[in-house]
Amino acid sequence: MSNFAFPQPRENCDKCAEFLKAFDQLRNKCFELTDDLVVYQDLVNSLKRSVVSAHNEKEALQQYCVDASSDMDKLAFVLEREQAFTDIQFYSFGT
C-alpha cells in the first residue's frame, strides 16, 4: 500500500505520532481483512463446487434408479456413492 505512505512530519509532535500510529494500525488491519477475504472467497468457491457436485450426484442416482434392473443393483450403487462421499469428507476435513 505504497500510495498510503506519508513523509515524516517536519516536527516531532504528539499529534503526528498518534496519527501515524493509528494509520499503521489501520493499514495492518486492512491487510488482515484482505487476507481474510481471500480465505472466505476460497471457502465460498469450494462450497459452490460441493453444491454442484451434490446436484450432479443426485441426478446420477435418480437416473441409475430408473435404469437399474434390480433392487440389489440400486442398493449397491447407493452404498458405493455413500462410501465415496464419506471418503471425500474425511479427506477434506483431514480426519
Taking the chain (95 residues) in runs of 10, the rounded mean pLDDT of each run is: 57 82 96 96 90 84 76 81 78 60
Chain position carrying cell 465460498: 44
Q: What pLDDT sits at residue 6?
A: 59
> pTM higher than 0.85, yes or no?
no
Q: What is the predicted pLDDT for the residue at 14?
A: 82
Q: What's residue 1's pLDDT?
A: 46
Cell of 63: 437416473
| C-alpha cell belonging to residue 70 | 434390480
Residue written as grid cell 471418503? 87
Max Cα–Cα distance, the chain, nearest Å: 87
**pLDDT score recorded for residue 27:** 97
Q: What is the pLDDT of residue 37?
A: 97
All residues at 6 or more sequence positions from 58 whose CB lies less than 8 Å from its CB, including other chains: none
Q: Which of 24, 29, 22, 18 is nearest to 5 (CA)?
A: 24
